[in-house]
Structure 1
Amino acid sequence: MIRWVWAFLDRPAARFDECVSFWSAITGTTPSERRGADGEFLTLLPDPALFAAAGIKMQSVTGRGGVHLDFDVEDIPSAVRYALDLGAELVANHPGYAVLRSPAGQLFCFTPAGPAKSTPPPAHTAPDGTRSRLDQVCLDIGPSDYAAESRFWTSVTGWDHTEATLPEFSRLRPKETQPVQFLLQRLGEDRPTTAHIDLACSNPEAAATWHRSLGATVIERHPRWIVMADPSDTLYCLTSRAPDNH
């Protein structure tokens, strides 16, 4: 059983400091002390006064980076065996955690479950009063892989899989409180599965203006969401979902 889910932002080493500043600002968090052999890992910590649990980590990487998922579980070997039976590939088995790849290519990790988590932090209020919350990871899946990949993630998480408003989307919602839910997006072309971050915003246009002032770029506007690029040119989306509904 998954105890906690972490949205893990992998960002290029050359732009990592800028990305840490950007993502901590827009989520209202404070970067932890860096850890790892090369100081490559950190956690974005909510205000202690909120008595909320963190749900976002960052990693400095070579290459372009992206997003992966960490699942805290009680029994890592059992979780690995279960995922492999579902079609996952074992990438690396490190002391204390395992790195895997979904059948269509999305990286994720099984990590040890720590103390019981509390609730995720509330939506963050921007300087202009608009509110937003990083509460969703979107899995971008090629059409040929969509059915099988959807079954895989539904089985691995044990979450509820439901259709969304638009036919190219469906949702995976946890049965218990977690920092993020998943949106599954059927792409128009076949390619390996990747992931991006979605933020629920009370006013996506206002959020886009604020994010631009912090170093982001507007890529595309759609009726219900805005595609953005952070300071490392990694894509994410601002959506019109209500940020205070969790």
Structure 2
Amino acid sequence: MHRSRINGILIDCNTDDIDAAAHFWAEALGRPIDPDHPGTRGNYRMLATPEGQISVQIQRVEHDSRIHLDIETDDIPAEVARLQKLGATIDTQMERWVVMRAPSGQRFCVVRVQRDGFSNDAISWE
């Protein structure tokens, strides 16, 4: 058995100025940039996450700008296998996460547990 849930939305920005992009999204979504969050580093800016809500992270990327979501899990290989049975494919195997592609073409990531409260509201899978 393993567990998973949606972790957050990632806003991929093909930009030289990640701070300007993060500022736009912080204002647009009404969530300030959280400079003390461990997810705010290098090419990443984390917006403040109200309790019980999913996270929003802005990241500088080399590919086209887009938005994707992350699924967090306590067992990445088991979650990847479950999603493959549903028709998803592995796009890229990274060191600490897996980029997958839904049958309809959208990319998403399977990551380790990121947010508090996982044990309270993650879905259990056999």
Gaps of 5+ in 1: 1-128
Contact 1:160–1:175 (CA under 8 A) maintained in structure 2: no
- 1: CA distance, partners of 2:27 / 2:14: 19
Give, in angstroms, the shift of residue 141 of structure 1: 0.4
- 2: CA distance, partners of 1:201 / 1:220: 17
Structure showing greater relative contact order (alpha-carbon pairs closer than 8 Å, 6 or more residues apart): 2
Is the partner of 1:162 in helix, strand or coil?
coil
User: What number of residue pairs does the alignment pair up?
Assistant: 115
Task: Identify the match of residue 27 of structure 2 among 151, 155, 165.
Answer: 155
Letter in 2 for 1:227: V
Structure with greater Cα Rg: 1
Give, in angstroms, the shift of residue 166 of structure 1: 4.9
- 2: CA distance, partners of 1:210 / 1:177: 25
Gaps of 5+ in 2: 122-126
- 2: CA distance, partners of 1:220 / 1:166: 22
Task: Identify the match of residue 146 of structure 1 among 18, 36, 47.
Answer: 18
- 2: CA distance, partners of 1:153 / 1:242: 21
The answer to whether residue 89 in structure 2 is matched with residue 214 in structure 1 is no
- 2: CA distance, partners of 1:166 / 1:212: 31
The answer to whether residue 81 in structure 2 is matched with residue 200 in structure 1 is no
The answer to whether residue 52 in structure 2 is matched with residue 177 in structure 1 is yes
Give, in angstroms, the shift of residue 162 of structure 1: 2.6
Using the aligned pairs only, state the percent identity: 25
Give every structure 1 segment of 4 or more consecutive aligned residues whose post-TM-superposition deviation is greater than 6 Å.
none
Give, in angstroms, the shift of residue 154 of structure 1: 1.0
- 1: CA distance, partners of 2:102 / 2:2: 19
With normalisation by structure 2, the TM-score equals: 0.78
The answer to whether residue 42 in structure 2 is matched with residue 167 in structure 1 is yes
Contact 2:21–2:58 (CA under 8 A) maintained in structure 1: no
The answer to whether residue 110 in structure 2 is matched with residue 238 in structure 1 is yes
- 1: CA distance, partners of 2:80 / 2:114: 16
Q: How does 1:67-146 map to 2 (within 5 A)?
A: 129-146=1-18
Letter in 2 for 1:159: R
Letter in 1 for 2:78: A
